[in-house]
Structure 1
Amino acid sequence: MSTNPPPDSPPPPSQIRILTLNCWGLKYLAKHRYQRLSEIGRQLALASPAPEIVGLQECWTLQDYESIRQQTRHILPHGKFYHGGIWGAGLAILSRWPIEEASMYGYPLNGRPTAFFRGDWYVGKGVACARIRFGPSAHSVAEVFCTHLHAPYEREPNDSYLCHRTAQAWEIAKLMRGAAERGHLVIGLGDFNMLPSSFAHQLIQAHAPVRDAWQVIHPDSSVGAAIDPVEKKRNKPIPTAELNLRVNGATCDGRFNTWRWTKKEQKLLLKGKEITVDPQEECPRGKRLDYIFVGDGGYPPAFPPARWKVDSVRISMTERHPTLRCSLSDHFAVEAVISCPSGGEDDMSSTATPAGLQGKKAPNASLAPDTYDRIIDMIDVYARRERSQRRWRLAHFVLSVVVSIGCFVGVWWTGNHLPYVAFILVLVSTLNFGAGILDGLIGGLFMTSELRALREFEWEVRNAKQLVEQTS
Structure 2
Amino acid sequence: MSDTTAAAAPETSPPSTASTTTTSPSQIRILTLNCWGLKYIAKHRAARLTEIGRRLALASPPPEIVGLQECWTQADYESIRQQTRHILPYGKFYFGGIWGAGLAILSKWPIEESSMYGYPLNGRPTAFFRGDWYVGKGVACARVRLGAGRHEVAEVFCTHLHAPYEREPNDSYICHRTAQAWEIAKLMRGAAERGHLVIGLGDFNMLPASFAHQLIQAHSPVRDAWQVVHPDSSVGAAIDPVEQQRGRPVPSAEFNITVNGATCDGRFNTWRWSKEEQKRLLKKGEEVEVDKDAPCPRGKRLDYIFVGDGGVGAPHKWSVQEVTLSMMERHPTLRCSLSDHFAVEARIVRSSEQEATTTEAPGDTAAAAAAAAAPAAPNTALTPETYDLIIAMIHKYVQRERSQRRWRIAHFVASVFVSIGCMVGVWWTGDHLPYVAFILLFVSTLNFGAGILDGLIGGLFMSSELRALKEFEWEVRNAKQIAEAAGGEGESKRME
TM-score range, shorter chain: over 0.9
CA 1:87–1:343: 2 relative to 1, 3 Å: farther
Instruction: Determine the C-alpha separation between the residues in 2 that align with 1:389 and 1:70.
Output: 48
1:340 aligned to which of 343, 347, 350: 350
Quick check: 2:238–2:297 contact (8 Å CA) kept in 1?
yes
What amino acid sits opposite 2:117 in the alignment?
A: Y
Confirm or deny that 1:399 pairs with 2:414.
yes
Quick check: 1:13–1:343 contact (8 Å CA) kept in 2?
no
The number of residue pairs the alignment matches comes to 452
Name the SS of the counterpart of 1:71 in structure 2. helix
Confirm or deny that 1:250 pairs with 2:265.
no
Q: Render the CA deviation track for 1:27-49: whole Å, top value 9, x for unaligned.
A: 00000000000000000000000
Quick check: 1:297–1:305 contact (8 Å CA) kept in 2?
no
Q: Percent identity between the aligned chains? A: 79
Q: How far off its partner does 1:11 sit?
A: 1.9
Greater fraction of residues in helix: 2
**Which residue in 2 is equivalent to 1:387?**
402
**Which residue in 2 is equivalent to 1:312?**
322
Instruction: Determine the C-alpha separation between the residues in 2 that align with 1:357 and 1:458.
Output: 38
Instruction: Determine the C-alpha separation between the residues in 2 that align with 1:141 and 1:359.
Output: 21
**Which residue in 1 is equivalent to 2:156?**
144
Quick check: 1:181–1:303 contact (8 Å CA) kept in 2?
no
Name the SS of the counterpart of 1:402 in structure 2. helix
**Which residue in 2 is equivalent to 1:91?**
103
2:291 aligned to which of 257, 278, 289: 278
Quick check: 2:181–2:216 contact (8 Å CA) kept in 1?
yes
**RMSD between superposed Cα atoms in Å:** 1.8
**Which residue in 2 is equivalent to 1:430?**
445
CA 1:147–1:107: 2 relative to 1, 3 Å: same
Name the SS of the counterpart of 1:55 in structure 2. strand
Q: Structure 1: state its 5+ residue gaps.
A: 1-7, 345-354
Show structure 1 runs of 4+ deviating over 3 A: 302-306, 341-344, 355-365
Q: How far off its partner does 1:470 sit?
A: 1.7
CA 1:365–1:314: 2 relative to 1, 3 Å: closer
Confirm or deny that 1:118 pairs with 2:133.
no
Name the SS of the counterpart of 1:101 in structure 2. strand
Instruction: Determine the C-alpha separation between the residues in 1 that align with 2:336 and 2:151.
Output: 43
**Which residue in 2 is equivalent to 1:349?**
none
CA 1:248–1:280: 2 relative to 1, 3 Å: same
**Which residue in 2 is equivalent to 1:260?**
272
**Which residue in 1 is equivalent to 2:427?**
412
**Which residue in 1 is equivalent to 2:39?**
27
Quick check: 2:151–2:314 contact (8 Å CA) kept in 1?
no
Instruction: Determine the C-alpha separation between the residues in 1 that align with 2:33 and 2:87.
Output: 17
Confirm or deny that 1:289 pairs with 2:299.
no
Confirm or deny that 1:329 pairs with 2:339.
yes
**Which residue in 2 is equivalent to 1:451?**
466
Instruction: Determine the C-alpha separation between the residues in 2 that align with 1:264 and 1:158.
Output: 32
Q: How far off its partner does 1:237 sit?
A: 0.8
Instruction: Determine the C-alpha separation between the residues in 1 that align with 2:81 and 2:407.
Output: 48
1:221 aligned to which of 208, 228, 233: 233
Q: How far off its partner does 1:10 sit?
A: 4.0
**Which residue in 2 is equivalent to 1:374?**
389
Quick check: 2:320–2:372 contact (8 Å CA) kept in 1?
no
CA 1:9–1:229: 2 relative to 1, 3 Å: closer
Quick check: 2:253–2:292 contact (8 Å CA) kept in 1?
yes
1:41 aligned to which of 53, 62, 70: 53
Confirm or deny that 1:469 pairs with 2:484.
yes
Instruction: Determine the C-alpha separation between the residues in 1 that align with 2:463 and 2:374.
Output: 48
**Which residue in 1 is equivalent to 2:168?**
156
What amino acid sits opposite 1:41 in the alignment?
A: G
What amino acid sits opposite 1:458 in the alignment?
A: E
Name the SS of the counterpart of 1:153 in structure 2. coil
What TM-score do you get using the length of structure 1 for normalisation?
0.93
CA 1:197–1:365: 2 relative to 1, 3 Å: closer
What amino acid sits opposite 2:475 in the alignment?
A: E
Q: Render the CA deviation track for 1:353-388: whole Å, top value 9, x for unaligned.
A: xx9695899845531000000000000000000000
Q: 1:49-128 maps to which residues of 2 (within 5 A)?
A: 49-128=61-140
What amino acid sits opposite 1:340 in the alignment?
A: R
What amino acid sits opposite 1:173 in the alignment?
A: A
**Which residue in 2 is equivalent to 1:197?**
209
CA 1:177–1:362: 2 relative to 1, 3 Å: closer
Quick check: 2:223–2:378 contact (8 Å CA) kept in 1?
no
Name the SS of the counterpart of 1:115 in structure 2. coil
Instruction: Determine the C-alpha separation between the residues in 2 that align with 1:360 and 1:11.
Output: 24
Name the SS of the counterpart of 1:127 in structure 2. strand
Instruction: Determine the C-alpha separation between the residues in 1 that align with 2:75 and 2:378.
Output: 43
Instruction: Determine the C-alpha separation between the residues in 2 that align with 1:57 and 1:322.
Output: 22
**Which residue in 2 is equivalent to 1:5?**
none
